[in-house]
Amino acid sequence: MDSTSLLLSSIPMACDNASPFETSEMLASFVTSTPLLDSAWRICSHANAVAPRGYVVEVAGGVGYLAFSGVQVVGGSDSELCDPKWGSMVPLDVASNGLFSALKSPVEEEEEEEEEEQPVMVHAGFLQLFLDFYGNCNFQDQMTLLERSNCKSIVITGHSIGAAAAALTSLWLLCRSSSSSSSSIPLLCITFGSPLLGNSALSKAILRERWVGSFCHVVSKHDIIPRLLFAPPSAHILSLLHLCHFGTNSIPEEALFSYVLSCAEKAAEEVEGLSESDGLCFTPLGTYVFCSEEGGICLDNGASVVKMMHLLFSRSCPRQSTEDHFKYGEYIGKLLLQFLKRRELQGEEGGLGLNGSTYDAGVSLALQSSGIDRQEMVLGSARDCLEMARQNGSTRNLNSAHLAVRLSKITPNRAQIEWYKALCDGSEEQLGYYDTFRQMRTAKREHAVNMSRVVLATFWNGMVGMWERNELPFDFHRRSKWINASQFYKLLVEPLDIADYYRMEKHREKGHYIENGRERRYRVFDRWWRERSKGKKSSSKRNNFAGLTQDSCFWARVEEVKESVEMAKKETEPMKLGAVLERISKFEKYAGELIESKEVSRDVLAANSSYSKWLQEWTALKPRFQQLINNSKS
């Protein structure tokens, strides 16, 4: 395997494992030891020189490169570029007509009482820039040729505003490949001095899709452009962005530099929880390589990236903040040489010493690579930043591992309910486990089953709470182990929750189960299962009835339709009766289709089950109701 292919496979691995070395100086060292950064910057410089407002395509060493020039114009005029609306954010899926539908937040539409998740949003001007390229036939042809070439991998790159176009192009390709059944070419996006692209929902979506390792943003320690959009959009801010991407070395006013610095400081305080957040508009995404003349460090934790952006920028000045935007060629050229030099770590107390710890050695090496001297006041904050990056990543993975251990410990409780169901299914009473539990036929046995039901609910509620508090890996709900385990739990245990709800007659006080009694965990598991099954259609038919009824709310629907039959018996108003009968007929058809496709367990068809008794009663009553309807029409 060549170094490029090794890099493309290693970056996501490092991000997932959250190693203290692989996500800081050591990963940065590995990245710069390959020709990728040097090649990417070389073709970026070439694009800046020969393809202003465009891009260049090149194939070298089995790698296909697409580089966007940093010289770009959105809207066609300077006045439009400086319009604050150009710097606002727009919903990505809506504004792009579904090109990025894979990134759409999985919102539970039927849960009207819940606050909707924040939509994925991106910079309006950058999105329009990408759409302008996308709508060009030549661009489409070039992308097709690149994908059909014999390239082992594709690198999308860009500088400044061109970097934003590169990131959106990469997102589009990743979204497209995720919805395709065919294998795709490994993709890596490398940007230089890229401005921020979108909101926190975009960052979370990329984490959820496990695409963090597909984005490598190279940022110099003084460059103002990557920090610029921490400040609210304004004509002044956008004018600076305009000047910088045209290669103008105009020095921003000191007041503007101070303003951006203060906004970066506020953003850092918000991610640390030191100040009340009014919503951080633009958020980092992917992996960041912070480069300096001393080397580089690599971070993939969003909060740590924001904090490091501020810490390094706080040591800058107005002149450096723009000059650094055009010095990436110098930094890339020095990186490999700097990493080959021997490090002389100081062992003095309070310095960058090892202090007898391998972990401290890694942190010290990363701090030295960032260009922060041990005498500087920000040293302690920078060290905290690196440690926070390590702890956040490892804590989520540890939480996931601990959950797996706890899941194994409650297996006996789940097994007890499985045993109970099998016992009821084979009983001569022919009730099934739903009706047996609802009637509490054997108090001691049902009490033990009920205790297991409570133990399982406690575990799964705790797991959902951790997931919603972002205490688990962001792709946790995409992992087959947890999708399948939660689905099996839901199908097995929710019928008992429904039985308990109606046995305790809670429906008389609160209303029916589905709308008023269903626990949130089941709605979350429904969402996970739908996301997993999206775009997958099973053509195979069952030969036998399912072990568990595939609609976990089936018995709640039976309880509702039983009440509807009682209402129909008493109803004398033809229009109201017609509405009730329509609901009953709708359920009758639905249940019939489930049974025909064998999507129900055999307990549904037990001779004395609630469903069988209801069907028997309804079959006898239906002709009479049909006659009443016919008489009302005549």
Show the tokens assigned to 573. Answer: 């108003």
| Cα 577 to Cα 631: distance, rounded to the nearest angstrom | 13
Closest C-alpha to 351, from 339, 368, 335, 334: 368
| Cα 446 to Cα 48: distance, rounded to the nearest angstrom | 74
Contact 352, 374 (CB under 8 A): yes
| Cα 325 to Cα 71: distance, rounded to the nearest angstrom | 13
Q: Which residue has the tokens 């709605």?
A: 523
| Cα 438 to Cα 441: distance, rounded to the nearest angstrom | 8
Helix axes 161-178, 235-245, angle to 10 degrees: 90
- Active site members: 160, 223, 325
CA gyration radius for the chain?
30
DSSP assignment of 38-74:
HHHHHHHHHHHHH-TTSEEEEEETTEEEEEE-S---S
Helix axes 36-50, 25-33, angle to 10 degrees: 70
Query: Of all helices (H) and strands (E), which one includes residue 287?
Result: strand 287-292
| Cα 429 to Cα 590: distance, rounded to the nearest angstrom | 27
452 CB neighbour count, 10 Å cutoff: 20
Burial 161-191 (b: 16+ CB within 10 A, else e): bbbbbbbbbbbbbbbbeeeeeeeebbbbbbb
- Indicate the length of the chain as a whole number: 634
Contact 577, 629 (CB under 8 A): yes
